[in-house]
Amino acid sequence: MSHFFMNDKNHLVNEAIEGLIQSAPYHNISRLEVDEDIRVVVRRDWDKTRVALISGGGSGHEPAHAGFVGKGMLTAAVCGDIFASPSVDAVLSAIVNVTGEAGCLLIIKNYTGDRLNFGLAAEKARGMGYKVSMVIVRDDIALPDNPQPRGIAGTVLVHKVAGYAAEQGQTLEQVTQLAEQTIEATASIGLAFATCHLPGEDRDERLNAGESELGMGIHGEPGVTTLATQNSREIVAAMSEKLLARIPQGKQVVLLLNNLGGFSMLEMALLVRETLASPLGKQVSHLIGPATLVSALDMKGFSLTTLVLSPVLEKALAAPVETSGWQPMFKYQAAERLAGKKSRVQSAFTPSENQQNARLLRTICHTLVALENQLNQLDAKVGDGDTGSTFAAGAGRLLNALDNRRLPLNETDKLLIHIGEQLALVMGGSSGVLMSIMFTSAGQKLSEGASFADALAYGLERMQHYGGARPGHRTMIDALDPAFKALQQGASLSEIAAAARQGAESTATMKSAKAGRSSYLNAHSLDGIKDPGASAVEHVFAALAKE
């Protein structure tokens, strides 16, 4: 099975670049028309009197690098194939087309292919009379003994700072010097649960379930160590400790939280919380992200980057840009919780006794408690297997209140309203809310002078109004509706129970469900199986008929 969405592998990068340009919010980028194999995204509004900034590398790290082309950041990005450095000719084409008398700065990540291809292009350009400088980002600290640290997410911060300097009209020497200062002040470390899916290839599953790899490369290269955990707090503690050791005493940093492509925003938000709660968090004054800035296709991983701030770097990072990929830096400020009032208001009543109401309520609750396993087994065939437990939880709470004489048994309207409140507290999912709506509405209608039968019918109508289900939709309503109608017509309990039974049995022949989890099943999966909620209603009325 393919895990990569594409039309044609051979045209994937070209078509993706076209889509990026079409969706650029500032309409300020284009692709150079040179050759089909030369992919250079450039600013359309470039002023050649300023220093040009060129970056690039293999595709698959989006939005890097083309997503950072625009005012305030890159002048051009040279895009290679997936995880492959662009050719010397492609880099040289970028230099020739965007470089004026002010010269250009090449910003590359520390990988052999990028160093060689960009380096040779720089030499050729110099031979043609162009002023070219180059900086190599080496922010990865996961492999401390490696003489050639890799360039990862910190590269984007170098783009941003150098872009600011170029936009201010600084010289090539000044822009290069500030870029080098940024590189020296930047440190990154990444971790992944699994490597990425390459187009048309199966993923190499190096890790076992429950493991993570510290320092896995952004091309899927093995990391420095395998951790026997996927616990967010433990992982962040290990990573932040290494970053903290690189920060000079008393210095503040900007923290970049980068998604490598496969983590959800929920997970990334958790990582923000964990990182700021760690000792590293005490030295964080600004944040960037969480966001995907330098990805590794769909790698299930993330990276943390710190940049030791100075007034100049802070100003450069805060400057506005016109690119699709950059995420604005903002000043971190711990949020204080606001005191609030509980919105839930319980109805006021005085506990009272009524033997008949107590007997009926006890019968209903004991019936639902006894049905727990049976209803769960039935629900396991058409739902998530918890209907019995849900009803039993509500019944158990009411039995406890009944045994402890905490119910207004002699005031039926208040009793129904209180039952509705209690069911909403303990019955999970939508069923608890629906039952609460029915009993609460019925109690309110009863307090207005309606009959008991009409009040229950009104409560059922309110349940249908908010829940959306109707008779014939294969829910508990198929048993409740005929039972309540029979009650309104003055039928006996045995006749009401018969109506409920007939309604519940009808659900077993319905070919489809229009509400609840059963609505996702086909006719074959539902055939001959009663709806669990309707079955519960059937058994309750059958028990009441025996009283």
Catalytic: 197?
A: no
The pLDDT value recorded for residue 83 is: 95
In tens, the pLDDT along 412-460 reads 999 999 999 999 888 877 888 899 999 999 999 999 999 999 999 999 9
**Active-site residue identified among 159, 219, 418, 473:** 219
Question: 301 and 239 in one domain?
Answer: yes
pLDDT lower than 50: segments of the chain: 516-526
Give a yes or no: residue 3 inside a domain. no
Tell me whether residue 338 is in a domain.
Answer: no
Pair (386, 326) in one structural domain = no
Co-location of 192 and 264 in the same domain: yes
Per-residue confidence (pLDDT) for residue 528, from 0 to 100: 59
d(CA 112, CA 147): 13
Q: Are residues 37 and 137 in the same domain?
A: yes
Q: Is residue 421 part of a domain?
A: yes
How far is Cα of residue 117 from the mean position of the Cα atoms in its chain?
Answer: 38
Give the model's pLDDT for residue 518. Answer: 43
pLDDT at residue number 2: 66
Say whether the peptide bond before residue 290 is cis (omega within 30 degrees of 0).
yes
Q: Would you state the pLDDT for residue 425? A: 87
Quote the domain boundaries for residue 258: 9-196+209-330
- Look up the CATH number of the domain holding residue 489: 1.25.40.340
pLDDT number for residue 345: 61
- 281 and 408, same domain (yes or no): no
91 vs 97: CA distance, rounded Å: 10
Report yes or no: 363 and 544 within 8 Å, Cβ to Cβ: yes
pLDDT for res 523: 46
* Residue 4, pLDDT score: 80
Domain boundary among 314, 330, 346: 330
| pLDDT number for residue 520 | 36
Tally of structural domains, the chain: 2
How many other C-beta atoms are found inside a 10 Å radius of the C-beta of residue 276? 18
- The pLDDT, as a whole number, for residue 6 is 84
Closest CA to 462 of 416, 404, 426: 416
| pLDDT given for residue 512 in this prediction | 59
Same domain, 18 and 132: yes
Cis ω before 320 (30° cut-off from 0): no
Q: Which two tokens stand for residue 276?
A: 């700021």
How far from 472 is each of 178, 437, 529, 534, CA to CA, in Å? 71, 20, 15, 11
Specify if 203 maps to a domain: no
pLDDT at 384: 67
Examine the domain organization and report whether 320 and 282 are in the same domain.
yes
Question: Contact, 317 vs 186, CB < 8 A?
Answer: no
Residues 322 and 361 in one domain: no
What predicted TM-score, i.e. pTM, was given to this entire model?
0.78
Asked whether residue 324 falls in the same domain as residue 409, the answer is: no
Tell me, what's the pLDDT at 385? 75
Q: Which of 403, 399, 398 is nearest to 423 (CA)?
A: 398
User: 123: domain CATH number?
Assistant: 3.40.50.10440
d(CA 518, CA 530): 11
Same-domain pairing of 80 and 115:
yes
Q: 265 and 374, same structural domain?
A: no
